[in-house]
Amino acid sequence: MEDGVVVPIRSDRDIIIARHEGRRIAAEIGFSGSDLTLIATAISELARNILKFAAIGEIVVTAVQNTPRRGISIAAKDEGPGIADIPLAMKDGYSTSFGLGLGLPGTKRIMDEFNIKSGVGQGTIVIVKKWLPLQ
Amino acid sequence: MEVPILKQGDFLIATLQAALSDEDLTNLRDALVDRVGKARSRGVIVDVTALDVMDSFAARTLRALAHMVKLRGAETVIVGIQPEVAFSMVQLGLTLEEVKTALDLEEGLSLLGLTTKGAGSGGRGRRSHTI
């Protein structure tokens, strides 16, 4: 795995920067059209979760290769309170804040891979990936 | 970045830019709800053509905007949702239920003209000015 681009998330303006960086790197990897929008949307939701639940954190965007497939990995990390019940947080319609409860399950739907690691007091890491279709 | 609001006849038109922050969007919501009264507008058009991403926050804020404007006695039409954005919204599970949408500004104006019984029809492009 190559070194990723790190975007610190501290305010709502950083969401725009993270989205922009993600779109730029995804385009470099070879993604186009609606995939670029899906990737930017996933970054937006993940960055928003960081702000909402942990106040600060970071988004790391990395080009990844799983020969012969090329893709993009987006990691959202924070050292916030963590998630006590991950299956509940992954349920459509569940939200602890004034949201739609679509953040995590929605993000999982629009990406190819979704991994979450979290525990109370241990922060949260969400890593999502999308792969380019094979030529 | 403040979103400019144009007055055209009985309607207000706001055109969003791509890099719109959450604060810009909530400010626009509040400004439109306020100006509907000041300008005695019958309808509001929010043009999202330039928006590259509609995430859960943006969709929720636009729904709230439309609902608040409705409570103030005017109609809202969201225009210009791009194909990729529509695709992504459906995948994510976002809806703008009960909010009127139209393909573009022209269709939006025509829809508002019908909905508000022609109150603001005519004068297209002639009486545009910032309020």
Nearest to A100 among B60, B88, B91 (CB): B60
> Which residues in chain B are contacts of A105 at CB distance < 8 A?
93
Only one residue has tokens 């929010």, namely B46
Over range A107-112, report the average pLDDT.
94
pLDDT of residue A104: 85
Q: B61 and chain A: CB distance < 8 Å anywhere?
A: no
CATH number assigned to the domain covering B5-105: 3.30.750.24
pLDDT over threshold 80, residue A99:
no
Q: A100 and chain B: CB distance < 8 Å anywhere?
A: yes
Cβ atoms of A73 and A4 within 8 Å: the answer is yes
Beta strands A57-66; B75-79: pairing state: unpaired
ipTM: 0.85
pLDDT over threshold 60, residue B120:
no
Q: What number of helices (H) and strands (E) belong to chain A? A: 4, 5
Q: pLDDT tens-digit profile of B9-18?
A: 999 999 998 8
Query: What is the rounded CA–CA span in Å between residue B20 and residue B17?
Result: 6
The pLDDT confidence band at residue B76, using thresholds 50, 70 and 90, is very high
Domain range summary for chain B, segments of one domain joined by +: 5-105
B 80-119 residues with CB below 8 A of A? 82-85, 87-88, 91-94
CATH number assigned to the domain covering A5-131: 3.30.565.10
State the pTM of this model: 0.87
Å between A15 CA and nearest CA of chain B: 8
Q: pLDDT tens-digit profile of A22-73?
A: 999 999 999 999 999 999 999 999 999 999 889 999 999 999 998 889 999 9
